[in-house]
Amino acid sequence: MLTFFRKRPYIFLILPGFVLYVVFCVAPIVLSIPLSFTAALKGGGQGFVGLQNYVTIFTDKYLYPQFINALKNSFLGLALTYFIVHPIIILLAYMIYRKIKGHGIFQGVLFLPQFINPVAMGFMVFLFFSPYTGLYYNFFNLIGLPNWGIAGVWSDQGLGVVLLVIVWSWKGLGYEMLLYIANFKVIPTDCIEASIIDGTSEFQRVTRIYFPLLMPTFTSVSVLMFVWTMTAFSEPYILGGLQGGINGNMDMLTLFLYRNVFGAGPFSMNFLGMGSAISTVILLILVAGALLIMRGLRSLQVEY
């Protein structure tokens, strides 16, 4: 045993973090799954009810529409983030990697929102878009379109998710951009120099050399975007409140969970059973989505 640890001293560096992760992250997830098959008894305690909690999620006339709306908003936010924000992140990372003028300041400014607390960031955005008092309203009032400022993003069914995507992008842009910059810097210079000698254009180098070699990072960032979007809570709660905005236009899966389990809803008495069931459904969505993304993008990865 001592020989084993002597040959692998790095285990002592990994072990403390691994133990804390198992105790505070993995164990609660595993222990919540059996609780999802129970419900609160009138006399106290939990009783086994089988799949009843899961059936309720997908059949209850109060719970099911909320779940579908939150799921729809989450996937809409994911689509906007993935197909609009993601290419912008790659472009910015490439520009900084190519050391455009002022790239150091540019990189610092983009990474700065990482240090802003999500609650403070949501409150700042709320003040900016607040009807009647925010800068958004004052701008439209100044140009003679006060009704646009009053309606804003709060009363529009589609713009609520757009606002959330803007906030997520502002906060997460720098971190994901740094991942791509790091990947750009480890691409062998021999490949780039050979392509330049062969007379390839900048566009050809990006599409035929850089991007294929970015696939490992592209896969990792895609999974991170999926997980972050599906588990977003602070921004939807700050901007949309407990109900997830007007007509639930900012409702997300974790906010749906919090509202129905810890709020004053009809399932608050069964918070252990129903909460565990909803959490397990979200966990299954996360695992299935992450596996599909990794499996779908794995075939496009290039070794170097």
Share of the chain above pLDDT 90, in %: 26
Domain membership of residue 20 (yes or no) is no
* Report field, pTM of the whole predicted structure over 0.85: no
Domain membership of residue 148 (yes or no) is yes
User: What is the total count of domains within the chain?
Assistant: 1
Contact 232, 252 (CB under 8 A): yes
- 86 pLDDT higher than 70: yes
Range of the domain at 67: 50-298
Which of 3-12, 53-62, 225-234, 267-276 is predicted least confidently?
A: 3-12
Location of structure tokens 């009807």:
131
Residue, of 273 and 265, whose pLDDT is higher:
273
CA pair distance 168, 79, nearest whole angstrom:
13
Average pLDDT over residues 76-104: 88
Domain membership of residue 84 (yes or no) is yes
Distances (CA, A) of 31 to 22, 27, 37, 186, 272: 12, 6, 11, 41, 11
The DSSP result for 31-97, as a single string, is HHHHHTTEEE-TTSSEEE-TTHHHHHHHH-TTHHHHHHHHHHHHHHHHHHIIIIIHHHHHHHHHHHH
Show Cβ contacts of residue 207 under 8 Å, excluding neighbours closer than 6 positions.
none
Residue, of 6 and 208, whose pLDDT is higher:
208
Domain membership of residue 33 (yes or no) is no
Domain membership of residue 1 (yes or no) is no
- 98 pLDDT higher than 60: yes
Determine the distance from the C-alpha atom of residue 87 to the mean position of all C-alpha atoms in its chain, rounded to a whole number.
Answer: 16
Which pLDDT band, with edges at 50, 70 and 90, does 301 fall under?
low
Domain membership of residue 260 (yes or no) is yes
Closest CA to 239 of 161, 171, 146: 161
* Most confident segment among 149-158, 162-171, 203-212, 223-232: 223-232
Task: Report the CATH number at residue 282.
Answer: 1.10.3720.10
CA pair distance 260, 275, nearest whole angstrom:
8
Distances (CA, A) of 88 to 77, 91, 174: 16, 5, 11
User: Dihedral angle at the C-alpha atoms of 150, 153, 155, 160, nearest 10 degrees?
Assistant: -170
- 106 pLDDT higher than 90: no
Domain membership of residue 133 (yes or no) is yes
Domain membership of residue 63 (yes or no) is yes
Which of 164-168, 237-241, 243-247, 265-269 is predicted least confidently?
A: 265-269
Instruction: Write down the pLDDT at residue 81.
Output: 92
Instruction: Write down the pLDDT at residue 157.
Output: 52
Q: What share of the chain is helix, strand, coil (3-state, %, to 5)?
A: 75, 0, 25
At 248, the amino acid letter reads G
Residue 100 DSSP code: -
Closest CA to 270 of 278, 261, 258, 279: 261
CA pair distance 287, 38, nearest whole angstrom:
23
- 253 pLDDT higher than 60: yes
Closest CA to 103 of 212, 183, 178: 178
Which of 19-23, 72-76, 155-159, 282-286 is predicted least confidently?
A: 155-159
pLDDT tens for each residue of 141-183: 777 766 665 555 555 555 788 888 888 888 878 888 889 988 8
Instruction: Write down the pLDDT at residue 286.
Output: 94
Q: How many CB atoms lie within 10 A of CB 278?
A: 25
- 222 pLDDT higher than 80: yes
